[in-house]
Amino acid sequence: MANSKVNISKRAQELPASPIRKLVPLADEVKKKGIKVYHLNIGQPDVPSPKEFFEAVKTYPKEVLEYGHSKGDLRLLKAVSAYFAKNNISVEPEEIMITTGGSEAIIFAMLAVAGAGDEIMVFEPFYTNYNSFAIITGVHLVPLPTKPEEGYHLPAIEKIEEKISPKTKAIFLCNPNNPTGTVFTKKELEGLANLCKKYNLFFLSDEVYREFVYEGEHISLMHLEGLEEQAVLLDSFSKRFSLCGARIGCIVSKNKKIMEVALKLGQARLCSPTLEQHGVLAALKSGDTFFAQIREEFKKRRDVTYAELMKIPGAVCVRPSGAFYIMAKLPVPDIEDFASWMLTDFSLDGETTMIAPGPGFYATSGLGKSEARIAYVLNTSDLKKAMRILAKGIEVYSVQKVKV
Amino acid sequence: MANSKVNISKRAQELPASPIRKLVPLADEVKKKGIKVYHLNIGQPDVPSPKEFFEAVKTYPKEVLEYGHSKGDLRLLKAVSAYFAKNNISVEPEEIMITTGGSEAIIFAMLAVAGAGDEIMVFEPFYTNYNSFAIITGVHLVPLPTKPEEGYHLPAIEKIEEKISPKTKAIFLCNPNNPTGTVFTKKELEGLANLCKKYNLFFLSDEVYREFVYEGEHISLMHLEGLEEQAVLLDSFSKRFSLCGARIGCIVSKNKKIMEVALKLGQARLCSPTLEQHGVLAALKSGDTFFAQIREEFKKRRDVTYAELMKIPGAVCVRPSGAFYIMAKLPVPDIEDFASWMLTDFSLDGETTMIAPGPGFYATSGLGKSEARIAYVLNTSDLKKAMRILAKGIEVYSVQKVKV
């Protein structure tokens, strides 16, 4: 006699399904039919993880896999501090805390800077999971739209300032941006920094793709002057080491109160994965060569993907300079329908392409309906095939939909 | 010119420091002076982790450590279902989701069943981190005190019923209980189940210590009848496999909506650690013998600890039947002061003992001031020494404080 009168919470009902992952069941279905699916929907690079990671894990020296320090393995904190120093970012080990992926760093930062009902300003399209993190933490995201025609760069500073309210606690930027690949300029960053100073706001910056910059220089939040108490850097080792499964990230701030809060939140969940911290420590020691190779490879991939994209009549996109994503406007009126259709109804020589529909990267309802995120995480030959399948798909879909 | 006008959020200011970990800096200090510290403050067993875990990790078959499924490795879900079946708990793989430790399972459950400001009923003393999880999720914990003289068993059902309000969404039990070691009876569980049915509440049960039961039988939430839609089981592999650093737990429910919410929350944080899921899968296959040995060993430890405790004049405690903790009332008026003093001012032959002060395990201010949690996670010889140091410490402390 089961009771069906129990209801899940309202906020739980409001949680969005991930646009990156929600089509996975459709993909699983077509794979069963023998169709090959090119996964341009998810930022899972195919680059082998550093050998040093696996070597370290194989020779883990203890026979009990114990809890680690809540703030992270002390040797890892030192290594991360040294890693930042190489990137011209000066932070002490005590200004860093290891988190369980970049995701946890973002959640901790949101909890630390804003109360339930407080506002954090974001620029859309943004990393889709910020929506879920906002629901989890009760924070209200205030989105400012950016446009494909402008390479998804920031709107004029006056437009941003207009949106600041007494409830605004922070501005949150992802740089290089996921999903757009946009690398923000020094002028853009300084504009935001000035607003943060003027209105006493925190500045949160998600810099997971720091190394993935193909033209120009990456300006970190930590390079901005006079922002020591307000800057909270969020980071992860998943992408730069092709260690997505390792769930090791960090939160960085020179604001002692922020670090105290992060530690208390960290104590509540005990520690980040011990073995994978041990592996990332080894990977960090090997760092530089690995990064350089990755960057070159991804630059080629960006170029191939962009070139193929530009062959699609009606596609709108300014070539992005960073991360491993391209967000583009495609000539389809309903991208959700199109992305599903690519899986359920279309294939070319037994293959099809999976993309992440745009609307999930927006908080404003109705935006992104013709946009998609393409993750160029496959080798160039596969990418070329995947993009041509996408182009052909758009062609066939357009004709079919006109008929109907 | 740093800006000090930025403030952390009010909820962040309210986060408690972990009573288990907040004295760690004091312990680190005395260790530098060459004093040996017996750590009875934290549930970190000294039992070697299963060899199968390390073997599997060494032979990880892929060269990219990829994101896993957000709901967990499918082979692991099947193995966990089989593990539950052996424990007379019938749940399908799709009724299970892997979480990043039991901590995440609890946070997901709180978010799923309650909105911000809603109430969840708990029995104090309770696992201290529930306080932090409540702040993170905005849930209001309604505590019902239990007493050392009664072995921390539940109060009369009428007393519990009195506390149910229109805002109450769930009853949350930890069984066997951390920090008290209490194993709740079938009658107690059925009493709570009836309240859940009468008032349409969810029943959350944290059963991390399921195998650590030394007398009588463990009754799982999942053994209760007619509660399918309301039961949410929270679990972790950390303790039973001595794999605390692996951060692999799970949330289990036959309520499809709960599992949908858990999946969406899981998608937001992408996945649980891939390598450690792979290791736990191997550990689960080896399971039974490992458990049996652990249980026997911990029973001996419980007996030694309890026997030594009972030699302390004025100590109040009913011998607990489960977990690896004993909560006891000790003859000191301010346990926080005493626990610090044991580290900073007391040692016996160059050794001292660290305990977790009681108040952090209560939500009601003023309770637990003479209580402490003792984790019997060391070998019996060390435990005997640690407990005798504790006894001597109480003796010396009492004399000193009377003098002052």
Read off the pLDDT of residues A136-171 as tens digits, 9 standing for 90 and up: 999 999 999 999 999 999 999 999 999 999 999 999
Average pLDDT, chain A: 95
Closest CA to A379 of A371, A367, A387: A387
Q: Where are the beta strands (DSSP E) in B42-157?
A: 96-99, 119-124, 140-145
pLDDT range class, residue A1, cuts 50, 70, 90: very low
Low-confidence ranges of chain B (pLDDT < 70): 1-4, 287, 402-404
In this complex, is the C-beta atom of A364 within 8 Å of any C-beta atom belonging to chain B?
A: no
- Dihedral sign from CA coordinates of A144, A149, A153, A157: negative
Is B60 close to A70, i.e. CB distance below 8 A? Answer: no
d(CA B232, CA B253): 5
Q: How far is A154 from chain B (nearest CA, A)?
A: 24
HSE-up of A173 (CA within 13 Å, CB side)?
A: 33
d(CA A40, CA A43): 8
Binding-face residues of A in 10-49 toward B, CB within 8 A: 10-12, 15-18, 20-22, 42, 44-49
Closest CA to B40 of B286, B367, B352, B321: B352
A305, two tokens: 């993907």
Neighbour-count burial of A59, counting CB atoms closer than 10 A to its CB (0-12 exposed, 13-18 middle, 19+ buried)? exposed
Q: What is the four-CA torsion angle of B54, B57, B61, B63, rounded to 10 degrees?
A: -140
Closest CA to A221 of A254, A198, A244: A254
Closest CA to B189 of B149, B150, B230, B148: B230
**How many CB atoms are located within 10 Å of the residue B21 CB?**
23
Q: Are strands B96-99 and B249-253 parallel, antiparallel or unpaired?
A: antiparallel
Q: How many CB pairs under 8 A join A and B?
A: 260
> What's the angle, vertex CA A206, arms to CA A382 and CA B247, rounded to 5?
85
pLDDT of residue B1: 45
Is A132 close to B264, i.e. CB distance below 8 A? Answer: yes
pLDDT of residue A18: 78
In this complex, is the C-beta atom of A106 within 8 Å of any C-beta atom belonging to chain B?
A: no
pLDDT of residue B288: 74
Is A63 close to B42, i.e. CB distance below 8 A? Answer: no
* Overall average pLDDT of the A100-126 stretch: 98
Answer whether A308's CB lies under 8 Å from A391's CB. Answer: yes
> What's the angle, vertex CA A193, arms to CA A192 and CA A199, rounded to 5?
90
In this complex, is the C-beta atom of B102 within 8 Å of any C-beta atom belonging to chain A?
A: no
Residue A245: which of B66, B200, B257 has the nearest Cβ? B66
Is B275 close to A12, i.e. CB distance below 8 A? Answer: no
Sheet holding A168-174, edge to edge: A96-99, A249-253, A231-236, A202-206, A168-174, A119-124, A140-145
Neighbour-count burial of A145, counting CB atoms closer than 10 A to its CB (0-12 exposed, 13-18 middle, 19+ buried)? middle
d(CA A385, CA A388): 5
Is B245 close to A115, i.e. CB distance below 8 A? Answer: no
Residue in this structure with the two tokens 């967000």, named with its chain if needed:
A327
Binding-face residues of B in 270-329 toward A, CB within 8 A: 270-276, 279
* Overall average pLDDT of the A212-229 stretch: 95
d(CA A145, CA A160): 10
User: Distance between the two ends of chain A, CA-based, in angstroms?
Assistant: 48
Q: Which residue of B has its CA nearest to A56?
A: B58
pLDDT at A24 over 90: no
Answer whether A376's CB lies under 8 Å from A40's CB. Answer: yes
Q: How far is B293 from chain A (nearest CA, A)?
A: 16
pLDDT of residue A401: 79
HSE-up of A317 (CA within 13 Å, CB side)?
A: 32
Delineate the domains of chain A, giving CATH numbers in brackets: 16-48+289-397 (3.90.1150.10), 51-287 (3.40.640.10)
Residues 6+ apart with CB under 8 A from A59: none
Interface test with B, best of A8, A47, A178 (most B CBs within 10 A): A8
In this complex, is the C-beta atom of B164 within 8 Å of any C-beta atom belonging to chain A?
A: no
pLDDT at A3 over 90: no
C-alpha distances (whole Å) from A73 to each of A76, A78, A87, A326 are 5, 9, 21, 35
* Phi and psi torsions of B167, nearest 5°: -85, -10
Q: Are strands B202-206 and B231-236 parallel, antiparallel or unpaired?
A: parallel
In this complex, is the C-beta atom of B178 within 8 Å of any C-beta atom belonging to chain A?
A: no
pLDDT at A318 over 90: yes
- Please list the helix, strand and coil fractions of chain A in percent, rounded to the nearest 5, in that order: 45, 15, 40
B103-157 per-position pLDDT tens digit: 999 999 999 999 999 999 999 999 999 999 999 999 999 999 999 999 999 999 9
Q: What percent of chain A has pLDDT over 90?
A: 90
In this complex, is the C-beta atom of A200 within 8 Å of any C-beta atom belonging to chain B?
A: yes
- Helix H segments across B139-220? 157-162, 186-199
In this complex, is the C-beta atom of B101 within 8 Å of any C-beta atom belonging to chain A?
A: yes
